[in-house]
Amino acid sequence: MSVDVNVPTVGESITEVTIGQWNKSDGDFVEVDEVLCELESDKATFELTAETSGILKIIAQEGDTIAVGEKICEIEPKEGESTGSENTASESTSGEAVSTGEIEEMKVPAVGESITEVTIASWTKQEGEYVEEEEIICEIESDKATFELAAEKSGILQIVAQEGETLNIGDLICKIEVTTGGGPSESTSSKTEVKKETASTSNSGNGQYSEGHPSPAASKILAEKGISPTEVKGTGVGGRITKEDAGKAQKTAPKSAPAENNAPVSSDPRNSRREKMTSLRKTISKRLVSVKNETAMLTTFNEVDMKPIMDIRKKYKEPFKDKHGVGLGFMSFFTKACCMALQEWPAVNAQIDGDELVYNDFCDVSIAVSAPKGLVVPVIRNAEAMSFDEIEGEIIRLATKARENKLTIPEMTGGTFTITNGGVFGSMLSTPIINAPQSAILGMHNIVQRPVAIDGQVEIRPMMYVALSYDHRIIDGRESVSFLVRVKQLLEDPIRLMLSV
């Protein structure tokens, strides 16, 4: 008795598929689990395997679009062969995944007290793919950090929210069709991999599976649009052009031929593109505007002769690194100087909370770091009690995590004062914006050789402008100017930092 092979359910929102390519011909003998053909949906490409061994009878042809559940082909078992049901039963008891009928809904978890929405950054697993419990299936980003989402159960993944989609806390992200017995057994997995590799090799050899080659369905769509496959970038297996790629493809405007007699060729430079703002960028925008509108922000400036610090670094940089394993940078000097000045002028380290002023006896210094997805400000806790090497080590640790988008919420909240260094990008002077709810921020700038008066003589010195932006509701002019003068004094005479005088 022949076995009917129907279009399987490949995803919650997928109702039809297109036959991409047959790997076997009508009348061929096929083995159980051997890949028969490729099915293309509007989201991905899937492989259809034989449910039993036997003679293949093809019903749906390449390029045909058929609904989920419809018959694709038949397999006539050879005389004496089983239909595969015994096989399936034995395999399911020896490690194959079997659906329990349970659907596990995964929702956006609470990732921080002040975070109300997240964006799906990227899926690490595909629709219809088997996932293990606790396996990472996607990354979600909030306005403060990026988090990894792990599968809550083992089973077949059904993606609900797409990459780039913004969801509220508690919204549905995906579903998992729970299975028992684990994933495919080792022997089955190995056999499948070998078959896939064989199919891939044979296909690439005949040009049907090569990069830039359209599937039958895609080829039909491109032909209707009058688009050459060379104009389309394939996202399928091996760079193959799928039905979805063809549907999105737009005909490229022909390039104008070069004018005769070497006349200049005009090209239109007025191109523009749109990108959706990330949650992080939207929140940064809102907070910066809010600070400008809700604080009485003012900026005071001074300049620092960096020669004493540069001389110390030149003399002790290598011994410092050999002993502590970290470089001796400028940031540790500025952090130490700011901590001493903050303890002398506590209003600069304070913040407003309703009708009260909150003064802090500790210095949690936020360090502004330019990360791939935007500006972040991780915090060095109790910086006033740290040594130079401890500060440098903590800066390296936090900056590395920031650039890898691995900072946690606790590492980014609770700072009392911020230091930002625009000088690394070449900024000579700026008015930094306060990092609310803090009341002040110090801006460092580039070091420039300038003529200055030293003891009545003009000398060329490495000078840096420093800026202190502060909330005038908390900090008076006397306190802000005195704070910055104290920072200047400590930096120009670094021995004071060592002796705390």
At 35-81, the pLDDT tens digits run 898 887 765 667 888 888 889 999 998 888 888 888 999 998 866 55
Q: Determine the Cα–Cα distance for residues 55 and 49; give it in Å rounded to an integer.
A: 14
Of the candidate ranges 31-35, 125-129, 198-202, 382-386, the one whose mean pLDDT is the lowest: 198-202
* Mean pLDDT score, 175-200: 54
Q: pLDDT at residue 313 above 70?
A: yes
Instruction: Classify burial at 38, counting beta carbons within 10 Å of its beta carbon; exposed 0-12, middle 13-18, buried 19 or more.
Output: buried
- Where residue 84 falls (left for φ over 0; alpha for ψ -120 to 50; beta otherwise) is left
Domains (ranges, CATH) in the chain? 3-95+184-247 (2.40.50.100), 98-180 (2.40.50.100), 279-499 (3.30.559.10)
Marked catalytic residue, from 26, 311, 361, 476: 476
225-238 per-residue burial string, b: 16 or more CB within 10 A, e: under 16: eebebeebebebbe
DSSP secondary structure code for residue 211 in this structure: T
Catalytic residue flag (residue 213): no
Of the candidate ranges 13-27, 299-313, 330-344, 421-435, the one whose mean pLDDT is the lowest: 13-27
At 397-409, the pLDDT tens digits run 999 988 887 888 7
Residue 347 tokens read as 């209003």
Task: Please name which of 240, 156, 237 lies closest in space to residue 197, comparing C-alpha atoms.
Answer: 237
At 208-247, the pLDDT tens digits run 445 677 766 677 778 777 788 878 877 765 677 777 777 7
At 104-137, the pLDDT tens digits run 999 988 776 567 788 888 899 999 899 998 899 9
The pLDDT value recorded for residue 271 is: 83
The pLDDT value recorded for residue 92 is: 42
Residue 208 tokens read as 């049907």
The pLDDT value recorded for residue 85 is: 43
Secondary structure element (H or E) that encloses residue 158, with its range: strand 155-159
| Beta carbons within 8 Å of 361's beta carbon, 6+ residues apart | 343, 346
Q: What pLDDT band is residue 169 in, cutting at 50, 70 and 90?
A: confident
> Between 361 and 186, where is the model more confident?
361
Beta-bridge mates of residue 74: 4, 57
Contact predicate 1/83, CB 8 Å: yes
The pLDDT value recorded for residue 237 is: 59
Q: Determine the Cα–Cα distance for residues 485 and 304; give it in Å rounded to an integer.
A: 9
3-state secondary structure of 105: strand
At 97-108, the pLDDT tens digits run 677 878 999 998
CA 43 to the chain's CA centroid: 21
Beta-sheet pairing, 417-421 with 379-380: unpaired
The mean pLDDT of the chain is 82
The terminus-to-terminus CA distance of the chain in angstroms comes to: 95
Catalytic residue flag (residue 476): yes
Q: pLDDT at residue 84 above 60?
A: no
What's the whole-model pTM score? 0.55
The pLDDT value recorded for residue 209 is: 44
CB atoms within 10 A of CB 327: 14
At 431-488, the pLDDT tens digits run 999 998 999 999 999 999 999 999 999 999 999 999 999 999 999 999 999 999 999 9
Secondary structure element (H or E) that encloses residue 374, with its range: strand 374-376
